[in-house]
Amino acid sequence: MVIRTGSDPARVLREAGLRATPQRLAIVREVLERNHPTAGEVFEAVRLEFPTMGLGTVYATLNMMSERGLLNVLPVSDAVRFDANIQPHANLICNQCGSIVDFDDCDDVLAQLRERTSAGAGFAFAAEHIDLYGTCARPRRPPRTS
C-alpha cells in the first residue's frame, strides 16, 4: 500500500501500524501536494491549519513514515527532503529554480545499472538514490540561493 493522490491516507497509515491523527493526515496531504518538501516546509504549511503543531512532531511523523516504507528520504545538500514516490526512480533537480521532479522514463536503464552492480564486485543491491542536476525546461525564479 502506498500513499498517493486518490488513495485513503487514513487507511494507508493504519495498515502501516500508525494512528491516523488529524495532524498526520495533514502532513500526508502536504507531502503529496508539495514538491519533495523538507520537514520545515511541511511544518510551515501544516501550522496554518494546526497552529499548535510542533516541528518535532513533523519530524517524528516523517521519520516514522520513512521507516515503515511509506516515504523515500532524499538527502540533498541543505536538508533532507521527503518523497511519497517509493518506487525506485531518478530525480531531475534544476540548478536554476531548485525544482525536483520524478523522472520515470528510465526504468530500463536503472534496471541495467542494478544488474551491473551485482555483477561487479559481488555487491548485493538494495536501494538506489539517483539525482540528475541540470536546467529544467521552464525554470521559475528565483535561482537557488545555495
Partner DNA sequence: TTTACTGCAAAGGGTTTGCATGAGG
Partner DNA sequence: CCTCATGCAAACCCTTTGCAGTAAA
Binding site for its own copies (CB under 8 A): 73, 75-77, 80, 90, 92, 94-95, 101, 103, 105-106, 109-110, 112-114, 116-117, 120-137
Shorter beta-carbon distance to DNA: residue 23 or 117: 23
Q: Smallest distance from the beta carbon of 136 to DNA, in angstroms?
A: 23
CA atoms within 13 Å, Cβ hemisphere of 31: 29
Print the binding letters for residues 27-46 with DNA: x by CB under 7 A, - otherwise: -----------xxx------
d(CA 69, CA 74): 13
Catalogue the long-range contacts made by 40-43 (C-beta closer than 8 Å, 24 or more residues apart): 40/79, 42/82
Minimum distance from residue 108 beta carbon to its own copies (Å):
9
Q: CB of 83 within 8 A of CB of 77? A: no
Residue 85, SS3? coil
Of the candidate residues 4, 49, 54, 95, the single one contacting DNA (CB under 7 A) = 54
Shortest Å distance, C-beta 8 to DNA: 12
Binds 121, which of its own copies, DNA, none (CB < 5 to 8 A, cut-off by type)? its own copies
Nearest to 101 by CA among 54, 139, 62: 139
- Going by C-alpha positions, the residue among 110, 93, 104 that lies closest to residue 36 is 93
Q: Does 80 bind DNA (CB under 7 A)?
A: yes
Residues in contact with DNA by CB under 7 A are 10, 14, 18-24, 38-40, 50, 52-57, 59-61, 63-64, 78-80
